[in-house]
Structure 1
């Protein structure tokens, strides 16, 4: 298994699991048991990441086959229809991340880029690449959106750096304003807003933004780093050395505003409380 994500809506708890066998399995909790509801097939190679949209209507998946698939889900968790196959990346797609309030998707890839996709205003089944965020010197491993109704996301990469990207212009609107229809637009303006202080010494694999605006990262060097933003400047708030001993840390998530979970190559999941 490569990725697990809970569905944010629905009558019962449910989750999606992306697997090495190129499938996605959907599970729902019934009474005290977890029941397999569906097996989704389509990718030609291992599924590296899955993520639900904020309203639970869409499931995005990405794969070593260089593609991103967007699935439309029903409330029963039994029927999933692929409404779009996106093939913009030149190499494996490592991670997909939905915006917390909008139907906007960010992807991270071994081709050293992050790309932003949004639903077309005129065709809900069409997804358009509106930005290609370049600048990383190596694989972009993970991205995460700011947990607000804004247009900022952070990513981490093989070059040991964390970067913040921000939308700097509105997209083109319809012909009513004398502009091109949305189906013909290809880009928005997204700019590199900040490069965070370099604390990691090796590739950074995981990044997570919490609701209080703190950003946490983990990586191959075994470090866990927490950053805070003060008046537009990013500062290091806390550093934990050897979070999983000598092993790499592959994933980091916020449990709540001051508690982190990390998963490492030692097979353990550790919980950390931030004391500041």
Structure 2
């Protein structure tokens, strides 16, 4: 398996922190310390929108397209502690809402698989879950989760379930599920520990399985999985969430070591491939065979001497990386 650079999207005047792909429409969004979001058509590789409008006063740190939307829409989290919601009307991107609530920098945002919920996390150690309306204009905070002991770096929803994974400066990834008896309550069912350093990012396996990959300051990439069904204490029919037992989540695998410095981004593709990128400038791709993981490709100096901050898959053999050089690189992965 090999990796080759096929295009570079340039235009940001500062570090590019986060990227996301609308697979159905072939759109790429990137956000930067220059306080802009750039939207590209991946098929034509042309710029189709720049979202700034002086909306955010500080770095745009995270961007996510809304799934299950009749028109393209996205959320942007910023270091100014707010979240902006944008929707494309005709050929223009329109600001639909500004969401306020966090006390400090918003580090990550993500939509649930059906677009009903938006999760955000912050340096204020909290995770907020917002319920969205169909117009993308009204957002109600239905839950504030305060389980982490430090800065929360990343939130990511399961691709088909209302299950949320968060990662933090407190060296843990945690899993939250919607309460069976109170839809506005989100219960921490797992605290995945054992990492030596900040966990920067996580991503779910693209199936109904409950497995996720995370990456951290200790230069390692790990797979975690749920091993047993949820249990409840006692025999009562309806138990408050505080009495529910935690699920059993275990370390499934530590992937072969490739990186020599902190790993900032991971992405799990629908064909089973996992990609990672980080401070050492390396882009690595891993494949599982009969429960064993192996490295199938490594690209050195993916953005020259710049650090890599984020990686996303577009399709089975194309992925994108974002770097401190302000660029987004598109890579072709040869599966032969």
The alignment's TM-score, normalised by the length of structure 2, stands at 0.80
Contact 1:172-1:182 within 8 A present in 2 as well? no
> 1:229 Cα deviation (Å)?
0.1
Contact 1:172-1:180 within 8 A present in 2 as well? no
Contact 2:231-2:245 within 8 A present in 1 as well? no
Q: Which residue of 1 aligns with 2:126?
A: 67
Point out which structure has higher relative CO (alpha carbons under 8 A, 6+ apart): 2
Say which SS state the counterpart of residue 244 (structure 1) adopts: coil
Misfit runs of 4+, over 3 Å: 177-180
1:173 and 1:102 map into 2 onto residues whose CA distance is 20
Measured against aligned partners, the alpha-carbon deviations of 1:125-159 in whole angstroms (never above 9, x if no partner) come to 00000000001100000000000010100000000
Match of 1:215 among 274, 278, 288: 274
Structure 2, gaps ≥5 residues long = 1-59
Contact 1:173-1:182 within 8 A present in 2 as well? no
Structure 1, gaps ≥5 residues long = none
> 1:119 Cα deviation (Å)?
0.3
1:4 and 1:84 map into 2 onto residues whose CA distance is 21
Match of 1:19 among 78, 93, 96: 78
Say which SS state the counterpart of residue 250 (structure 2) adopts: strand
2:329 and 2:217 map into 1 onto residues whose CA distance is 23
> 1:11 Cα deviation (Å)?
2.0
> 1:180 Cα deviation (Å)?
6.9
Aligned residues: 275
Say which SS state the counterpart of residue 137 (structure 1) adopts: coil
Are 1:155 and 2:214 matched, yes or no? yes
CA RMSD in angstroms comes to 1.3
Are 1:41 and 2:100 matched, yes or no? yes
The alignment's TM-score, normalised by the length of structure 1, stands at 0.97
Contact 1:208-1:252 within 8 A present in 2 as well? yes
Contact 2:125-2:152 within 8 A present in 1 as well? yes
1:155 and 1:219 map into 2 onto residues whose CA distance is 12
Are 1:203 and 2:262 matched, yes or no? yes
